[in-house]
Every structure is written in C-alpha cells, then in structure tokens.
Structure 1
Amino acid sequence: MAGKTWSTQTQLGTMFSLTARQVGAQLTELGLKDGAAATDRAVADGLAKDAKLRDGTVFYVWHTDRVAQLLRARGLEAAAAGAGHRAEHARPATGAGPARARAQAADPAPRPTHGYGTVVATDGSALGNPGPTGWAWVDQTTGETGSGGLPHGTNNIGELLALLEALRHAGPGVDLLVRADSQYVINIATKWAKGWKRRGWLKGDGKVPENLELVQAIDAELEARTGRTDFEWVRGHAGDEHNERADALAVAAARAAAPARAAAPARARER
C-alpha cells in the first residue's frame, strides 16, 4: 500500500491484520469516528474525508500514513506480508507466547497506584454504536461500582458518562487516578476541553464539539477538584481485572437499557 494516500478501513485493516470492524473500533476510541461517520475533528484535521460509490453512497476514507501512525502509537503492529485478517471478535491471547509478549511490550507501564486516595476504572459501551448505551466505573480502592444506561447513544457518550459519574463518586478533595481505555475521553479531560473552553466552547474549525453538555459537565467537575487528578490509558480487553469488570458492567447496563421489543401480533387462525 506504499504511496497510497487514502485508504478504506478494510485496507487499513490489511496493514495490521485487523478486520474493518476492528479498525473502526480503534478509530472510535481515538475520537476519529462516531457510529458510521468520521467525526468533525477527523475531517477538520485532514485525517478523513468522504468519498462516494457509483450509486452515490457516501463512505469515509482515511489518510493512510497519519492514521497508521496513530494506530501504531496504540501498540498495533504492521502485518507481515501476506498475513490475513484476524477473526472478527478476536481478543488478545491470554497465554504466554510471542504475540502476547509483543502486546505487553507495546503497552505503557502501569502507573503506580499507591500515591492516590482513589483509583477508579471507567468504561462505556453502545450496542451497535449507536444503540443502547451503558456506562460503568469500578473503584479499585474500595471495590464499589456504579453503572447505568440509556436507550440510545454512542460509545463515546458511554465513555463520557462513565468518567462524569466516576468524578462525582470520588468527590473533589481526594487525589484521584482515573484508568480508562478511551483515549477520546482522556484527551477531552486533559487537553481538548481546555482549548474549546478558551474559544467559547468551539473547536478550531468553529464548530460546536460533539457531546458538549457532557464535556462541560466533566470540565466543571474537574475545575471543582482540589485533589490531584491523573489519567492512565489502559488497553481494553487485555486482561486488566478492573477494566474488564467495568466493561462487563457497562455492557450489562446497555443491555438493560435496550427498549423492549414489542411482541409480534399473533396470526389469526384461518377459518
């Protein structure tokens, strides 16, 4: 794919031995994709642009080199020549071996947790993305948990709600470490919200940020804190006990929030 400026998700997947769906999940966590569409930020930053099929159907293509660089920064490795896609629902291997060793080497070293009054893991989930949405937090210090859901939302909304509720749980005075597998949420909390706020809650392109009410609520909670607030990115679905528990709670909350399907009317018997 050398020299190719723009790639589809399928073509990006070929570079990393991932399916198009798995690439989409990575792009969502990076804040570059929301549902089936690229985010305004991704388009404004030149990371994505729309294209059309012959029948007029719009889809998005991605800047090959820049997006591949972002994926590599998440610990993904380029596929060997001729490598095929992984299974659609593949999870990192749990046993020892070369593939697992490479994944562990690519992850950031865990941040020490002994210097914090509260350490909390957060996660969000949207079935179908968009679809029924759940959020959850797990207090690693006390073992407490919190979760909830709404009938319709996105994965990013679930992640933002998880952080917001975790901040409310922790309170303003304690030194807090938030462990999240969403770089979108971490970037909002540590960088993007500050810039948007300075510009009157507008992005660099003059557009209103997505999920603004949740972003503003998180910003207010962070501004009110007197204790230290740090964030740690955790690789999702990689065996971290607290991340896996938060994920399970968020998925369960999303399922519980799903609107009940109306029962199909019984067919009248033929007479």
Structure 2
Amino acid sequence: MFSLTARQVGTHLSELGLKDGPRATDRAVDEGLAKDAKLRDGTVFYVWHTDRVAELLRGRGLEASGAGAGGGTGRARPATGAGSAAARSTAASPSPRPTDGYGKVVATDGSALGNPGPTGWAWVDQTTGETGSGGLPHGTNNIGELLALLEALRHAGPAVDLLVRADSQYVINIATKWAKGWKRRGWLKGDGKVPENLELVQAIDAELDARTGRTDFEWVRGHAGDEHNEHADALAVAAARAAAPTRAGAG
C-alpha cells in the first residue's frame, strides 16, 4: 500500500490513537477504519479497511507505492490466539496465470518465525490479483498454512469452481483425506488422540462441506520460483513480522 513496512504503518496508526498493540482502538472502529469480530471462544480480531487507512495516511504526507505492507477490506478471521490481526488487500499480484477450467485459482502459504513464533498467513487470487493476509503473535507454521486455506475458501465463496495451490502437503492431506476420517471417528485420530489445531480443521471442513462448486488442490514446491507461491510466502512472512510482539523499551 505504501513504501513502509507493516510495522511502520502500525506505528503511524498508534500515533493517531487508532491502534493499541495488535488491537484496533474504539475510535478506529467507530470511524470505520477497522472492524472487530469475535470467534466462538471469545477471541477478538480486527480487519483494517485499506482504502480508509490509505486516505488517512496520505493526510500525513505519505505516498502510495504499489502493493505493500498494509491491510485491506474483506473477511479475515484468524481462529486462534488473542489479539490477532488480519488484513485483506486488492493490490494486483504479478502476472496472474490463466485459470483454465476454474472460476478461481488461489495460492496459499503460511509462515511462523521460529516455528513456533509470530505467525502469518496469506492467499493470492490468481484470477483477480486480490490478496489477503494476517498474523498472530504466536503460532506454528501449520497454523499459518491452515489459516491461509481457511481464508482462501472464505474469499472464494461456495459456488465457484476452485483450485487451491499450496506448498503444504499437511494442509492438502487434511482437506482431502484426514479430516474426513477424523470426523467419522468423532474428531479423533486413529490412535484416539485429538488432532492438532482442531478448531481450524473443523472450520475448513465446514467451508468445504458448504461448497457447491468443484474444489481441487495442487501441491506446489515451495521456494522453487512459482511467482504466486513466492508472492503468498512474502505476504505471510511480512504478516508474521508485523504480528511479532514489540519488545519493551524498543524504539
């Protein structure tokens, strides 16, 4: 959005009294700059509205410079971790590929700094150039990958024929095989243990069950030069860095 990092954008919003740590302030919500929502467990998260934030920051003399570190409008619902931040952007992705046979082709990726550590997720819609990303102060790479898929499904909607391109075989196996078996056993694995990240797995399963369009998955080798996978990775890493808790006394 601007030639700033996500953390620098956050600093400007904090100086304006619109952001308090990872949370949007009441003023930001009241002025329509951010929207708050809650998960079933009571976790609050926020979606920042890019156009309104961009207009506000331009008022501080900042110039837009293509796709960058900011957030955007739309649904983004991290399903774990208090104080989660999420965002969606409509900046064009580089050279969207043809989407033969599909209404949408979406690349997804997740990242956790230190794994576990600050976590980011992202999707890139190769059909429209839209992107979505968000972060959690603490999580794992698998959580980031699952969130990326969940938000990509929500972005695509239920009716369109969809191809999801992911570099996580863990996520693809959950979506295409494992979740079905766990569900039949009352959400237990074959050894009787509860699957990790169950809330996210159940949310993905519900989104897939609600789809009327075809849903296919393609495994993409990560860090192998696929432009959309690399784009999603860069967005996820940036979101993880932006979600990292600020150390006390840091200037």
Unmatched 5+ stretches in structure 1? 1-111, 265-271
Cα distance between partner residues in 2 of 1:202 and 1:235? 30
Match of 1:189 among 158, 162, 175: 175
* Structure 1 position 127, deviation (Å): 0.1
Q: Which has the larger radius of gyration?
A: 1
**SS of aligned partner of 2:224:** coil
* Contact residue 168 and residue 219 of structure 2 kept, 8 A: yes
The 5 Å alignment of 1:115-264 reads 115-263=101-249
**SS of aligned partner of 2:134:** strand
Report how many residues are paired: 155
% identical equivalent positions: 95
Q: Deviations for 1:24-76, whole angstroms, at most 9, x for unmatched residues? A: xxxxxxxxxxxxxxxxxxxxxxxxxxxxxxxxxxxxxxxxxxxxxxxxxxxxx
* Contact residue 110 and residue 148 of structure 2 kept, 8 A: yes
* Contact residue 99 and residue 127 of structure 2 kept, 8 A: no
**SS of aligned partner of 1:172:** coil
Q: How does the TM-score come out when normalised to structure 2?
A: 0.60
Give the partner amino acid of 1:122.
T
* Structure 1 position 113, deviation (Å): 3.6
* Structure 1 segments (4+ residues) deviating >3 Å: none
Q: How does the TM-score come out when normalised to structure 1?
A: 0.56
The 5 Å alignment of 1:64-75 reads none
Cα distance between partner residues in 2 of 1:187 and 1:228? 17
Q: Deviations for 1:156-195, whole angstroms, at most 9, x for unmatched residues? A: 0000000000000000000000000000000000000000
Give the partner amino acid of 1:115.
G
* Structure 1 position 263, deviation (Å): 1.2
Give the partner amino acid of 1:254.
A
Cα distance between partner residues in 1 of 2:105 and 2:99? 7
Tell me which residue corresponds to 1:93: none
